[in-house]
Amino acid sequence: MSREKILAAVKFNQPAALPLPDMEVLNTLTDVRTDLVSKYKTIATAGGSFVYEVNGFDEIKAIINNEFKPGVKIISALDELSDYIYAETVKHEDGHNFADVELTVLRTKLGVAENGALWLTEKDMGSRVLPFIAQHLAVVIGKDNFVPTMAQAYQVIGAADYGYGAFISGPSKTADIEQSLVIGAHGPRSLSVFILS
Amino acid sequence: MSTTTTKDHPHLAADFNRDEPRVNWHDETLWWVRAKRDIAAHKLPEWELLRETASQIKFNVLSNLSTYLEQFEANATKNGIIVHWAADAAEHNQIVHSLLEQRGITKMVKSKSMLTEECHLNDYLKDHGIDVIDSDLGERIVQLANEPPSHIVLPCIHKKKEEIGDIFHEHLGSAKGESDPKILTETARQHLREVFLTRRAALTGVNFAVAETGEFVICTNEGNADMGAHLAEIHIASMGIEKLIPERKHLGVFLRLLTRSATGQPITTYSSHFSKPQDGSEIHIIIVDNGRSIQLGREEFRNSLKCIRCGACMNTCPVYRKSGGHSYHTAVAGPIGSILAPNLDMKKYADLPFASTLCGSCSNVCPVKIDIHDQLYKWRQVIVKEGYSPKAKTMAMKAMALTLASPTLYRMGGKTGRLVFKYAPFAVNNKLNPWYNQREMPKAPDESFGEWYAKRKGAKNS
């Protein structure tokens, strides 16, 4: 009932059709030759992320082993990091089972230099709640996977079919108490980004 | 004021203004946020182009809204999302309640949604035996304090950390006198983690819904919307009809503008795109009108539906900063709220369009180029015409119009005024004169401009 009522009222009250603006110009405004990795690094670091430029997975393992105590629960969605629990094998488990995860390691192929955001879909996450419920989050990205702005990011995403996707740009944070920035609200207390050369 | 039961803006603002240091602190804090917005905006050479593009996309949305709504519904349904329609706040609240009731759920976790504030959902559910916990830290704080949010992005911006410490001590068991934001945030983290892990239902707002794909986007810094939605068996999203955008690529424009305008951040920590429910859970979306289709038909105020709720107009508004959000006695405070509220109830909110200096700063910072101060000015005319303006103001305006229309009366009035200011200043510098309440009265000149001009002309000619 309300559906018809609302649609009729909207149709009756909406003005004559106006065209959509040109979007192409925004796609082409930024210089894609600039050093996107260093731009990303500056923005992401300012947003509270730890960014590491690494040459291979051994370096990533060394950093993780250095930062986390042995025996803590780590889930990884990467074949190359197989010392940890493989996300694929636990993806059908109830999300509540991940409440004790210390670190989740994920991989993406899309990062945005202008705002430090990394695009992750449900497939990259294994389970939707994993990048949120873990105490810490790490994301691996190739050095050629960065685009300048959100305009190009949505060009890359295009018409992709996903159940869920998120731009994640840092650790969970809040500034609700007298505008003091506090890292570690409900989600991960840190975001480490490994840029693979 | 006409016969309203709630206090109006001037009286509520007068209450807020009693504590002068707090007013100054409130003013400075919000100006600091506004300054951060400027820094972020100026870093993008294409900022003005982005604003213009966003504005044009929204014009297109409003002019094709019925089509986009149907398109969104069809695509969301195809994705496995269940779509509901609510004509007003009451119907919205009933739908939420029935979804919970059918599943025997009595506890829900809620992420930020100003629409549910507009609908007074929490009170409604409480009356029906449902326990709701707000999970955005600022919202949780005002919820524990039994207050509404005083700002759409910064809900507890009016509270000092010591007051928050007292609230947490009483409700969450933190140490007495603890006021360190880090420790208080950690206390809330532990408390809310328990909530996320035990609630079967989560409600969120919607920042943007995409007609082309049937997905919707929620932006948070804390990740609370995701923690709630991913751990619950049912996710209810409440959305006003104006939140639609045509295509996924348009998100690129709005996500670039939203947080830069709101807090000066380049993007929120999380911009989450919900397209399909995850295995074993449901997503329901409630599309709410609640007066929006009426506003769509008001040509002069239609633009207000372009609003993306960044709060930039509040942060820059000298009246908002110095009178606090609660003085607006409506869910959305500040300049944009003062345009939206009279659409819902012109009589109840007749005071709000007058709580503006019409300085235009709100329009200047608006990321979707809403002509906010012009609309406030237009509302004043409508409200006066409809007879909802304060009696005293109407009388004074009539007297002024009469005086300005007659040169004799005008000259006489000016002369009397100057004499009163000179020989009996106490007659105007007192509390009976409402104009004096917020202002120093000027010193009157000895002669009027007309007298001076006539004298000067005379001297020249002689």
For residue range B177-223, what is the model confidence (pLDDT) as tens digits? 999 999 999 999 999 999 999 999 999 999 999 999 999 999 999 99
**Which of A13, A149, A187 minimises the CB distance to B223?**
A187
Do residues B255 and B281 both lie within one domain? yes
Q: Residue B462: what pLDDT?
A: 64
Count the helix, strand and coil residues of chain A and give each as a percent rounded to the nearest 5. 35, 25, 45
* pLDDT over 70, % of chain B: 98
Beta bridge partners of B134: B110
Q: Which of residues 153-172 of B touch A (CB under 8 A)?
A: 154-157, 159-161, 164
Q: Residue B4: what pLDDT?
A: 43
Pick the range with the lowest mean pLDDT from A25-34, A50-59, B434-443.
B434-443
- B270: three-class secondary structure by DSSP: strand
Do residues B83 and B185 both lie within one domain? yes
Confidence of residue B66 (pLDDT cuts 50, 70, 90): very high
- Would you call B155 and A21 a contact, using CB atoms and an 8 Å cutoff? no
Q: Which of B362, B385, B408 is the last residue of a domain?
A: B385
Do residues B221 and B359 both lie within one domain? no
In-domain check, residue B376:
yes
pLDDT, tens digit, 9 for 90 and up, residues A40-98: 999 999 999 999 999 999 999 999 999 999 999 999 999 999 889 999 999 999 999 99
d(CA B274, CA B290): 24
Confidence of residue B84 (pLDDT cuts 50, 70, 90): very high
Do residues B338 and B237 both lie within one domain? no
Q: Residue A34: what pLDDT?
A: 80
In-domain check, residue B22:
no
Do residues B210 and B340 both lie within one domain? no
pLDDT, tens digit, 9 for 90 and up, residues B4-31: 456 899 999 999 999 999 999 999 999 9
Q: Residue A85: what pLDDT?
A: 94
Residue B353 has pLDDT above 70, yes or no: yes
Q: Residue B3: what pLDDT?
A: 43
Q: Residue B1: what pLDDT?
A: 38
pLDDT, tens digit, 9 for 90 and up, residues A143-181: 999 999 999 999 999 999 999 999 999 999 999 999 999
pLDDT, tens digit, 9 for 90 and up, residues B212-229: 999 999 999 999 999 999
Do residues B452 and B328 both lie within one domain? no
CATH architecture of the region A18-196: 3-Layer(aba) Sandwich (3.40)
d(CA B196, CA B191): 9
Torsion over CA: A176, A177, A178, A180 (sign) = negative
DSSP B103: T
Do residues B125 and B231 both lie within one domain? yes
Q: Residue B437: what pLDDT?
A: 74
Closest residue in A to B221 (Cα) is A173
Q: Residue B289: what pLDDT?
A: 98
In-domain check, residue B391:
no
Residue whose C-alpha is closest to residue B292's, from B282, B304, B284 = B304
* Number of domains forming the structure of chain B: 3
Q: Residue B432: what pLDDT?
A: 76
Q: Residue B5: what pLDDT?
A: 52
Average of pLDDT values for B275-285? Answer: 97
Average of pLDDT values for A121-140? Answer: 97
Residue B149's CATH number: 3.40.50.10420
- Would you call B269 and A14 a contact, using CB atoms and an 8 Å cutoff? no
Residue whose C-alpha is closest to residue A165's, from A113, A125, A111 = A125
Pick the range with the lowest mean pLDDT from B101-105, B314-318, B398-402.
B398-402
Residue A140 has pLDDT above 90, yes or no: yes
Distance, in angstroms, between B2 CA and closest chain A CA? 30
- B364: three-class secondary structure by DSSP: helix
In-domain check, residue B173:
yes
Q: Residue B147: what pLDDT?
A: 96
In-domain check, residue B49:
yes
> Which residues in chain B have Cβ-Cβ distances shorter than 8 Å to A11?
66
Q: Which of B356, B385, B414 is the last residue of a domain?
A: B385
Closest residue in B to A1 (Cα) is B85
Do residues B156 and B247 both lie within one domain? yes
Sheet containing B107-110: which strands, arranged edge to edge?
A: B82-86, B282-288, B234-240, B201-204, B107-110, B131-134
> Which residues in chain A have Cβ-Cβ distances shorter than 8 Å to B52?
21
* Range of the structural domain that residue B216 is part of: 44-290
Residue whose C-alpha is closest to residue B328's, from B16, B31, B3 = B16
d(CA A149, CA B169): 44
How large is the C-alpha radius of gyration of chain B? Answer: 25
Q: Residue B6: what pLDDT?
A: 64
Closest residue in A to B47 (Cα) is A26
Residue A52's CB: how many other CB atoms inside 10 A? Answer: 15
d(CA B317, CA B321): 6
In-domain check, residue B8:
no
Do residues B251 and B315 both lie within one domain? no
d(CA B348, CA B325): 17
Question: Of A29 and A170, which is predicted with more confidence?
Answer: A170
Q: Which of residues 235-254 of B touch A (CB under 8 A)?
A: 241, 246, 248-253
Do residues B400 and B378 both lie within one domain? no
In-domain check, residue B159:
yes
> Which residues in chain A have Cβ-Cβ distances shorter than 8 Å to B138?
174, 176
Distance, in angstroms, between B229 CA and closest chain A CA? 9
DSSP assignment of B145-170 equals TT---SSSSSTTTT--HHHHHHHHHH
d(CA A114, CA A95): 32
Summary mean pLDDT of chain B: 94
Q: Residue B447: what pLDDT?
A: 86
Q: Residue B248: what pLDDT?
A: 98
Please, are residues B178 and B166 in contact by the beta-carbon 8 Å criterion? no
Q: Which of B290, B324, B354 is the last residue of a domain?
A: B290
In-domain check, residue B14:
no
Q: What are the residues whose beta carbons fall under 8 Å from the beta carbon of A156, sequence distance 6 or more?
A: A110, A119, A147
Q: Residue B398: what pLDDT?
A: 84
Residue B145 has pLDDT above 70, yes or no: yes
Residue A25 has pLDDT above 60, yes or no: yes
Residue A103 has pLDDT above 50, yes or no: yes
Distance, in angstroms, between B374 CA and closest chain A CA? 20
Confidence of residue A7 (pLDDT cuts 50, 70, 90): very high
Kindly state the tokens that stand for A154: 């949505």
Confidence of residue B2 (pLDDT cuts 50, 70, 90): very low
To test the contact with chain B by mutation, choose from A12, A155, A176, A181 the residue with the greatest count of B C-beta atoms within 10 A, namely: A176
Do residues B227 and B337 both lie within one domain? no
> Which residues in chain A have Cβ-Cβ distances shorter than 8 Å to B263?
175
Q: Residue B251: what pLDDT?
A: 98
The structure's pTM equals 0.93
> Which residues in chain B have Cβ-Cβ distances shorter than 8 Å to A186?
135, 189, 192-193, 196, 222-224, 227
Q: Is the ipTM of this complex over 0.95?
A: yes
